[in-house]
């Protein structure tokens, strides 16, 4: 459709600055017009923004137009419409070249589709908060946040994404960076009254970042209910309501909105800006439980931006993974924002833990082996075991079993230290039998024959180990011969 020359000052087919061929009008506002154009050298579609002819004679409007380009080009964020270039027409009128966006703003979304699902509304607002955090980190206050300036596009991965538009009335919070006092005159009403904070309506010169937080609360209220938080028939009546009246209950219009989410919005809409969120990161952290799980990335980024800029004096603790669909209440740990967890540290802990486990296991096995092979104490006899044979030492004959019984009673009554095990006690039965049949070593005394009352048996007895009340081991033989 042909462009209207009185609205834009350009026509379809016009070539601007020798590079941009005008194609069609995208939108017309009170102060500017945006057209689609084709970058002939790069073969790329772009958007050109001009001031309407009536605004060219307004020095303040021209200064604001230049301020928009300066502010937007400083903010490096995927959620801010990117400024590519600026230029001037032959008439002297300035223009801005921006990335071309396909989609619709959230004001049109609400008008055409109605209110948004809770998770989607929260996710859209968090994406806008990323752009606002980047702006605040640079000392830029937007001052005109509203659904019409939040443009929804579809990314290459199919997900919807919000781009913040129109930094035309933005303000630098650092007075040294302000280029003109006329941009902040107290007689100017800058912004959209439906989204303006009480202090912005009173004195636009003194607004700070809390004015944007107020606007974000009003936007979320509208995305969830389709209503404005404050409505009146005139700007004067609206200013009185904003300054004095509380906003209506969200659940009056949308009963499924959780009270905790309504509390977040009400904190944004506190009349005293000192009672609002101190920064946009605090707002994002409180919104996280109501957004989808993927919104956590936006919250972490917002927190990182605000902390890196020194706008938060305390570390922000993120709750467990958000999402009303099952992430709320999770106990998963959250690393501190701005820190990374090392993977090699985990492997070192695992290796050390495994080594300690092996050492403990070996110690336990060794203790069991020692306890299992303790020798009888205080004259206790192991029937069938041969005395130890060593070179140069006399063999000691085994005492009779009858002499051992009083000692057994004494051991049971009085605990005593454990004697070291003999070689025969540690040897298996076959080894003990061969030890008895082995000839004595040279120079060793001949062992005494076994007692007559205990005839030798061809098969050694199997001992049974028991522990007394003090944990001392005792060995007994259950056979009739030894009993």
pLDDT, tens digit, for every residue of 265-274? Answer: 999 999 999 9
8 Å CB contact between 101 and 135: no
348 is a domain residue: no
Q: Could you say which of 14, 85, 134, 144 is catalytic? A: 144
Q: Closest Cα to residue 258, out of 249, 267, 245, 246?
A: 249
In tens, the pLDDT along 337-371 reads 333 333 444 434 343 445 545 455 566 556 555 45
Q: Mean pLDDT, to the nearest integer, of 379-384?
A: 43
Q: How confident is the model at residue 178 (pLDDT cuts 50, 70, 90)?
A: very low
Q: How far apart are alpha carbons 272 and 244 in whole angstroms?
A: 11
The sign of the torsion formed by the CA atoms of 256, 246, 203, 276 equals negative
258 is a domain residue: yes
8 Å CB contact between 107 and 146: yes
In tens, the pLDDT along 448-472 reads 555 555 445 556 666 777 777 667 7
Q: How confident is the model at residue 206 (pLDDT cuts 50, 70, 90)?
A: confident
Q: Are residues 92 and 116 in the same domain?
A: no
What's CA 393's distance to the chain center, in Å?
76
Q: Are residues 48 and 81 in the same domain?
A: yes
Q: Are residues 93 and 115 in the same domain?
A: no
Q: Are residues 73 and 117 in the same domain?
A: no
CATH number at residue 86: 3.30.200.20
How much is the pLDDT for 367? 56
154 is a domain residue: yes
Q: Are residues 41 and 134 in the same domain?
A: no
Q: Are residues 94 and 140 in the same domain?
A: no
Q: Are residues 31 and 125 in the same domain?
A: no
Looking at every residue in the chain, the average pLDDT score rounds to: 74
Q: Are residues 74 and 139 in the same domain?
A: no
179 is a domain residue: no
How much is the pLDDT for 167? 78
The yes-or-no verdict on residue 480 having pLDDT over 50 is yes
8 Å CB contact between 190 and 204: yes
Residues ≥6 apart with Cβ < 8 Å to 414: none
In tens, the pLDDT along 283-301 reads 999 999 999 999 999 999 9
How much is the pLDDT for 191? 62
156 is a domain residue: yes
302 is a domain residue: yes
Q: Are residues 296 and 264 in the same domain?
A: yes
Q: Out of 154-158, 242-246, 318-322, 380-384, which region has the weakest mean confidence (pLDDT)?
A: 380-384
241 is a domain residue: yes
Residue 131: exposure state from Cβ atoms within 10 A (0-12, 13-18, ≥19): buried
The neighbour count for residue 364, using CB atoms within 10 Å, is: 10
Give the domain extent around 32: 5-99
The yes-or-no verdict on residue 237 having pLDDT over 80 is yes
Decide which of 392 and 22 is more confident.
22
Q: Are residues 85 and 126 in the same domain?
A: no
Place of tokens 């300066």: 70
144 tagged catalytic: yes
Q: Mean pLDDT, to the nearest integer, of 383-412?
A: 42
The yes-or-no verdict on residue 436 having pLDDT over 80 is no
- Which of 84, 99, 114 is the last residue in one of the domains? 99
Decide which of 396 and 366 is more confident.
366
- What are the residues facing 37 on neighbouring strands? 22, 46
The yes-or-no verdict on residue 29 having pLDDT over 90 is no
Q: Are residues 94 and 110 in the same domain?
A: no
345 is a domain residue: no
How much is the pLDDT for 465? 75
Helix (H) or strand (E) run with residue 427 in it? none
8 Å CB contact between 467 and 474: yes
Tokens for 102, please give them: 């396909």
The yes-or-no verdict on residue 198 having pLDDT over 70 is yes
8 Å CB contact between 78 and 59: no
Q: How confident is the model at residue 40 (pLDDT cuts 50, 70, 90)?
A: very high
Percentage of residues of the chain with pLDDT beyond 90 = 42
- Which of 308, 337, 370 is the last residue in one of the domains? 308
- Which of 41, 71, 99 is the last residue in one of the domains? 99
Residues ≥6 apart with Cβ < 8 Å to 49: 32, 33, 34, 95, 96, 98
Q: Are residues 116 and 206 in the same domain?
A: yes
In tens, the pLDDT along 306-329 reads 999 998 766 667 766 544 443 333
Q: How confident is the model at residue 92 (pLDDT cuts 50, 70, 90)?
A: confident
Number of domains, the chain: 2
């Amino acid at each position: 459709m042909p462009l209207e020359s009185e609205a834009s000052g350009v026509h379809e087919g016009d070539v601007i600055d020798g590079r941009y061929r005008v194609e069609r009008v995208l939108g017309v506002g009170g102060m500017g017009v945006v057209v689609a154009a084709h970058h002939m050298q790069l073969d790329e579609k772009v958007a050109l923004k001009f001031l309407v002819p009536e605004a060219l004679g307004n020095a303040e409007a021209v200064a604001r137009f230049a301020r928009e380009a300066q502010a937007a080009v400083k903010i490096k964020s995927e959620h801010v419409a990117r400024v590519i270039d600026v230029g001037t027409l032959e008439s002297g009128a300035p223009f801005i070249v921006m990335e071309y966006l396909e989609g619709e703003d959230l004001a049109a979304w609400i008008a055409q589709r109605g209110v948004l699902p809770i998770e989607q509304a929260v996710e859209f607002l968090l994406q806008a908060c990323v752009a606002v955090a980047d702006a605040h980190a640079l000392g830029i206050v937007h001052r005109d946040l509203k659904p019409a300036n939040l443009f929804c596009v579809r990314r290459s991965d199919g997900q919807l994404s919000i781009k913040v538009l129109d930094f035309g009335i933005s303000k630098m919070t650092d007075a040294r960076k302000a280029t003109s006092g006329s941009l902040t005159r107290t007689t100017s009403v800058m912004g959209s009254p439906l989204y303006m904070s009480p202090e912005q309506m009173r004195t636009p010169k003194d607004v700070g970042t809390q004015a944007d937080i107020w606007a974000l609360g009003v936007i979320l209220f509208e995305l969830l209910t389709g209503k404005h938080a404050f409505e009146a028939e005139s700007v004067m009546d609206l200013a009185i309501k904003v300054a004095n009246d509380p906003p209506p209950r969200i659940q009056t219009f949308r009963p499924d909105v959780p009270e905790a989410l309504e509390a977040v919005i009400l904190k944004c809409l506190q009349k005293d800006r000192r009672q609002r969120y101190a920064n946009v990161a605090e707002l994002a952290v409180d919104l996280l439980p109501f957004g989808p799980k993927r919104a956590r990335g936006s919250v972490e980024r917002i927190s990182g931006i605000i902390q890196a800029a020194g706008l938060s004096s305390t570390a922000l603790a993120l709750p467990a993974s958000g999402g009303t669909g099952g992430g709320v209440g999770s106990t998963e740990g959250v690393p501190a924002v701005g820190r990374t967890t090392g993977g090699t540290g985990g492997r070192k802990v695992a290796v050390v833990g495994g080594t300690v486990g092996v050492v403990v296991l070996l110690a336990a096995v060794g203790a069991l082996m020692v306890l299992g092979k303790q020798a009888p104490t205080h004259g206790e006899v192991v029937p069938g075991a041969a005395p130890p044979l060593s070179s140069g030492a006399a063999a000691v004959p085994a005492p009779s079993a009858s002499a051992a019984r009083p000692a057994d009673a004494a051991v049971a009554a009085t605990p005593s230290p454990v004697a070291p095990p003999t070689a025969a006690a540690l040897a298996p039965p076959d080894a003990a039998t061969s030890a008895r049949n082995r000839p004595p070593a040279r120079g060793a005394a001949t062992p005494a024959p076994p007692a007559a009352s205990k005839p030798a048996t061809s098969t050694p007895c199997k001992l049974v180990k028991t522990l007394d009340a003090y944990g001392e081991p005792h060995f007994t033989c259950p056979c009739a011969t030894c009993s």
